[in-house]
């Protein structure tokens, strides 16, 4: 096992848990990327969510991106619309996995938690 410095460990831990301040520092080009794309902030956020679904992204990615999306005016209903729109292309397993991650990121209870 390698010796890892405290700063490296803290940064990796922050990125893996979706801490926005560390992600902004580590990835920090979100606004530049959005401007370069030519998309408005809301559309850009929806495209990012679609890409997370297609990539079968980890939970921390959903938590961070949904936070950004909601701040940019995206509604939970919009997110559901994106999930429905990409479902035929990504398939059932990714759709199911993404729905669970979206629910967790939105703080929604699962059926067995009611």
Residue 1: inside a domain:
no
What range does the domain containing 74 cover? Answer: 6-113
CB 60 within 8 A of CB 18: yes
At 114, is the pLDDT very low, low, confident or very high (cuts 50, 70, 90)? Answer: very low
**Per-residue pLDDT tens digits for 72-100:** 999 999 999 999 999 999 999 999 999 99
Instruction: Give me the CATH number covering residue 67.
Output: 1.20.1290
Mean pLDDT of 11-25: 67
Residue 68: inside a domain:
yes
| Res 70 pLDDT > 70 | yes
| Res 109 pLDDT > 80 | yes
- Distance, in Å, from the CA atom of 17 to the CA atom of 113, rounded to the nearest integer, reads 23
Q: How many domains does the chain have?
A: 1
What is the DSSP code (8-state) at residue 112?
A: G
């Amino acid at each position: 096992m390698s010796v890892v410095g405290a700063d490296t460990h803290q940064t990796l831990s922050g990125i893996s848990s979706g801490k926005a301040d560390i992600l902004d520092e580590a990835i920090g080009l979100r606004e530049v990327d959005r401007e370069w794309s030519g998309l408005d902030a809301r559309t850009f956020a929806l495209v990012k969510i679609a890409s997370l679904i297609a990539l079968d992204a980890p939970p921390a990615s959903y938590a961070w991106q949904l936070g950004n999306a909601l701040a940019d005016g995206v509604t939970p209903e919009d997110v559901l619309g994106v999930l429905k729109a990409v479902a035929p292309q990504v398939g059932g397993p990714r759709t199911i996995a993404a729905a669970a991650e979206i629910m967790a990121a939105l703080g929604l209870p699962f059926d067995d938690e009611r």
